[in-house]
Amino acid sequence: MTAKLDNALGLYKEGIRDGNARAALDKYLGDRYTQHSTGVADGKEGFLAFFEPFLVRNPVRDIEVVRAIEDGSYVFCHAAQTLGGTTKWVTTDLFDTDAEDRIVEHWDTIAPGGTRSPSGHTQTDGATKVTDLERTAANKAYPAQLPDRRWTGCLPRTGKGRQDRELSEGAPPDRAGQLRGDLR
């Protein structure tokens, strides 16, 4: 495991799961900390102002980091949480790190957990290990080329002219007519 992953997982596990928020911040955060979570202010004091009362309200915390991935300065964590033995949440966290691999910025989403989708899957099942690292460069290159592709056949009809022209000119003639009819 790398220092970036160690720091992100340490903040999550030691700071929140184990209830040692203040010690974890000193250990894993960089010189600054920008927080994008609703209700949590920037900096160590902002983090503590939210999480110290949270830890008191939720003395029983089961947190499992299901998958964690590092890409450049970023670390992505996907976690299943049970608070108080019954309340289930699934969180997705994105951390940015500094030159010393310490956390300097955080974004997250949280949703009720413990449910299955119509397809029978949970929010956390599936592969947990990266098995095709040789495809990383190609996978990163693919979205970068998307703006250059003519995806105009997917644009809704606006009545403003430009998108409507691109819709009919950018997609095969039979598909353009079908899309225009579908998106009116």
Domain assignment of residue 143, given as a range:
136-183
Residue 149: CB atoms within 10 A of its CB come to 8
Residue 138 is predicted with a pLDDT of 87
Angle in degrees, CA 87, 92, 93, rounded to 5: 120
Residue 10 is predicted with a pLDDT of 96
Residues 65 and 121 in one domain: yes
Q: What is the mean pLDDT of the chain?
A: 83
Residues 32 and 103 in one domain: yes
Residues 156 and 172 in one domain: yes
Is pLDDT at 66 greater than 60 in this prediction? yes
Is pLDDT at 181 greater than 50 in this prediction? no
57, 83 contact by CB (below 8 A):
no
6, 13 contact by CB (below 8 A):
no
Give the pLDDT band (50/70/90) at residue 160.
low
Residues 97 and 171 in one domain: no
